[in-house]
Amino acid sequence: MAIVLLHPDVEKKLQSLPNDIEARIRSKLTEAGENPGRHLKPLKGREEYSLRIGKRRAIIDWVTEQNELRVLELDTRDTVYQ
């Protein structure tokens, strides 16, 4: 099980969302922390991973040595990859 760490901008973004969506995203991030290999998809040409959460995507740095998932970005699919 990996520790899930949120970038301050991601935390701010989560708090601005409706409560039901925020809870769903936090739940999915917890699931990803329990089994990262199953839930994370490697990004082409980058060292980060992606986690699909409905219409949103989380960009995650998986630090295996420290057993951490660092959530770097969270946004809709249209804007997160730019």
Structural domains of the chain, count: 1
Answer whether 49's CB lies under 8 Å from 42's CB.
Answer: yes
Q: What is the pLDDT averaged over residues 63-78?
A: 91
Q: How many helices, marked H, and strands, marked E, lie in the chain?
A: 4, 5
CATH number, residue 26: 3.30.2310.20
Instruction: Give the tokens for residue 68.
Output: 């951490």
> In which domain, by residue range, is 49 found?
3-80
The structure tokens 């099980």 sit at: 1
Q: 3-class SS at 41?
A: strand
C-alpha–C-alpha distance, residues 20 and 37, integer Å: 26
Q: In the predicted model, is pLDDT for residue 45 greater than 70?
A: yes
pLDDT digits (tens, 9 = 90+) for 11-37: 999 999 999 999 999 999 999 999 999
Instruction: Tell me what the pLDDT averaged over the chain comes to.
Output: 92
User: Is this model's pTM higher than 0.85 or not?
Assistant: yes
